[in-house]
Homo-oligomer: A and B are copies of this chain.
Amino acid sequence: MAGAHEESPIPIDERSHVPVFEQIAEHVRSAVAAGVYRSGELIPSIRATALELRVNPNTVQRAYEVLEREGTVVARKGIGMCVAERARQSARGHAETATRTAFEHGIRGALAAELSKRRIDDLYERAWSDTQNQGHV
């Protein structure tokens, strides 16, 4: 599982309106929620992450500041950023909220366009198919 994560394709979506630093923070939260990064462990350094994501170190630093302020990670001078105690549980909660929010956003837009519940459920199933196809690549 840990190995899989490092090999994963760069998760930054250039076209998204979500700032890159927030995408990075979200990425770390997911890894904490998934148990890829465990309490007390170091997360990848700013420099390493910047290289992997082909992004400016300042952008990664800003993401890490967000994570530190919200209590997901703790800075240890001269060492790096450590995953905080009980961070996994709160990261899971965060992930669930984010997921539900994304679903609500989709449903609300679909209802505004007067798509039927049946059609929307169908689109949800299709989203699963697409996700799995891309996931196996």
Contacts and interface: CB of A to CB of B under 8 A. Distances in A.
Interface of A: 11, 14, 16-20, 22, 26-27, 29-31, 33-35, 56, 69, 77-78, 91-92, 95-96, 98-115, 117, 119-120, 123-124, 126-128, 130-131, 135
A131 B104 CA distance: 6
Copies, count: 4
Q: 8 closest pairs, A vs B, by CB?
A: A102-B106, A95-B113, A103-B127, A33-B113, A30-B112, A34-B114, A17-B17, A99-B110
Contacts of A106: 98-103, 106, 127
Nearest to A13: B105
Secondary structure dominating the interface of A: helix
